[in-house]
Structure 1
Amino acid sequence: STEFYAKSPSSNPWNKSTAPYPQAVRGGSWMDPADQLRCSARVGSDPSWKQQDPQLPKSIWYETDAQGLGFRLVRPLRIPTAEEMDKYWNSGVEKDP
């Protein structure tokens, strides 16, 4: 949100998740209008994207109903320390309610 970015550092702001939905999805898709086809375009994730997931409990990665959802690869400029990796990789909300 605007408030978050206003009080965050200008370099690498990080907002720790407190709920499974919504999570920011960026970049637009083939289903979006032309003005949304940019890396800064954002939309919030929705539990309906997992509607057809056959697994019980539902997988955190199974997104069968998010046909416009893709992925991007990101590589850090320097390899993070073990402490930094733990902080960012193990900080999300892991399960649906």
Structure 2
Amino acid sequence: MTDLICDSIRRDAETAARVVSSDFLGVDVITTDPSVPLRQSGGVINEVNTTPALHHHYDANREPYPHVAILALEGVLRKKAARLAISHA
């Protein structure tokens, strides 16, 4: 997880997520430069994980994003709440 990913890579990851059709997943990207599109850097989407390993983000010596699990859970709960609101409307 990084703030450096360009909009093109973000869109590619969102497309991969839609194909898998899961509410909770991780998209692994391999690139030499996350600030440019994958095609430009020769990068790829390596895999889409429907059971992402969030525990890796809690290695404080390595990751500057230690709260990713909280952000992920908030996103899942927001999506679930929106679905419930629509189904009860």
Bucket of the pairwise TM-score, normalised by the shorter protein: under 0.3
Q: TM-score, normalised by structure 1?
A: 0.24
Q: TM-score, normalised by structure 2?
A: 0.25
Would you tell me which structure has more helix in proportion to its own residues? 2
User: Which structure ranks higher in relative contact order (CA pairs < 8 Å, sequence separation ≥ 6)?
Assistant: 1
